[in-house]
């Protein structure tokens, strides 16, 4: 009798597992095409706009850090222009994610996508198929004019036929999506139409928050859902050990001006700019040093002013770099 009850219970458990697996694999992907309709935007580009887009893409927005083949990494670090033909991959518990080809090739790039589709991706993290994607492109609060400029620059790129691997969420990633944790981006209101560059705390905040994504790495996050769980800009987010860091572990430093735990609390403006221009110290660091080294002195001064204006947060993150065990 006991064996029969046990078998029935086991059968029920197996059935539940099968139902859950089927439900997750068939119901995880919500389509947002109706609620977030594609606009009929047509970016009217000029040389100034294209130049601005190029500066953002290869500098503060560091598009080349993900949307270029890994084989071009040394060129990126040296500040050379490289084709944004995709190739960078990231394998984390929610899945394997690969940066797509951003050149104008119609088969493997963005040549068949409209400006409205590209804008929706920047502003709301919704791809051309209508799915909300994981927040790897944190540009939802970028000013319209800067998004238009990047679109104009991407349109100017020569087509490169290079097929990127398709991103695939794992079962965990699908379960996270099914739970509703991955939603379309909700930009701050009102949406910025433009942001005039200046050496000011306000413009520095814009760069750090909406363009360069200092907040995204220098704030601790739950790497399962990418939800922010720490004090902003106070560091503590761990990267590695994985294939990208070659077994090393990196923890982002505290950027607030706390005298005891803030890495740049005693830095002068000159030292901050010098460090940002100096490039990487650790070969496998996830920091996009090559791109940030291309930023103008004025933009770096603005970021410095903003970081110095933050409330000091006492957050000792420990060792910033732990080499792989040999």
Please compute the mean of the pLDDT values over residues 90-112 and round it to a whole number: 89
For 239-279, write each residue's pLDDT tens digit: 888 767 788 899 999 999 999 999 999 999 999 999 999 98
For 170-226, write each residue's pLDDT tens digit: 888 888 887 777 889 999 999 999 999 999 999 999 999 999 999 999 999 887 777
What pTM, to 2 d.p., does this model score? 0.90
> What is the pLDDT, as a whole number, of residue 1?
66
Is pLDDT above 70 for 22? Answer: no
> What is the pLDDT, as a whole number, of residue 153?
97
Please compute the mean of the pLDDT values over residues 305-324 and round it to a whole number: 95
Query: Which region, left, alpha or beta, applies to residue 181 given φ > 0 means left and ψ of -120 to 50 means alpha?
Result: alpha
The residue ranges of every structural domain in the chain are 47-178, 201-322
- Rounded-to-integer distance, Cα 221 and Cα 216, Å: 8
Please compute the mean of the pLDDT values over residues 83-99 and round it to a whole number: 83
> What is the pLDDT, as a whole number, of residue 29?
74
Residue 62: pLDDT band with limits 50, 70, 90: very high
Q: Output the CA–CA distances (angstroms, integers) from residue 62 to 32, 82, 272, 288, 305, in the order listed.
A: 28, 12, 19, 7, 21
Residue carrying the six token digits 């706390």 = 258
Residue 114: pLDDT band with limits 50, 70, 90: very high
């Amino acid at each position: 009798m006991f064996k029969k009850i046990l078998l029935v219970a086991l059968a029920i458990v197996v059935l539940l597992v099968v139902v859950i697996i089927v439900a997750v694999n068939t119901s995880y992907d919500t389509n947002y095409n109706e609620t977030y309709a594609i606009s009929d935007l047509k970016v009217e580009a000029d040389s100034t706009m294209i130049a601005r887009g190029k500066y953002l893409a290869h500098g503060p927005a560091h598009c080349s850090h993900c949307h270029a083949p890994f084989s071009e990494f040394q060129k990126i670090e040296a500040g050379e222009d490289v084709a944004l033909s995709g190739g960078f991959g990231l394998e984390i518990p929610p899945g394997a994610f690969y940066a797509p080809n951003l050149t104008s090739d119609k088969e493997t790039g963005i040549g068949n996508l409209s400006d409205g589709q590209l804008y929706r991706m920047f502003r709301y993290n919704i791809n051309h198929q209508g799915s909300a994607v994981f927040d790897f492109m944190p540009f939802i609060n970028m000013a319209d004019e800067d998004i238009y400029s990047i679109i104009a620059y991407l349109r100017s790129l020569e087509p490169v036929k290079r097929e990127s691997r398709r991103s695939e969420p794992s079962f965990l990633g699908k379960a996270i999506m099914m739970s509703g944790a991955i939603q379309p981006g909700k930009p701050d209101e009102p949406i910025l139409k433009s942001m005039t560059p200046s050496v000011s705390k306000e413009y520095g905040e814009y760069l750090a928050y909406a363009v360069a994504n200092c907040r995204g790495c220098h704030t601790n996050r739950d790497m399962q859902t990418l939800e922010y769980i720490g004090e902003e800009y106070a560091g503590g987010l761990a990267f590695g050990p994985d294939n990208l860091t070659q077994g090393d572990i990196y923890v982002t430093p505290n950027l607030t001006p706390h005298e005891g735990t803030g890495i740049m609390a005693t830095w002068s403006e000159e030292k901050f700019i010098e460090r940002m221009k100096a490039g990487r110290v650790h070969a496998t660091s996830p920091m996009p040093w090559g791109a940030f080294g291309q930023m103008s002195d004025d933009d770096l001064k603005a970021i410095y002013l903003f970081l110095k204006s933050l409330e000091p947060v006492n957050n000792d993150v420990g060792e910033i770099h732990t080499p792989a065990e040999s």
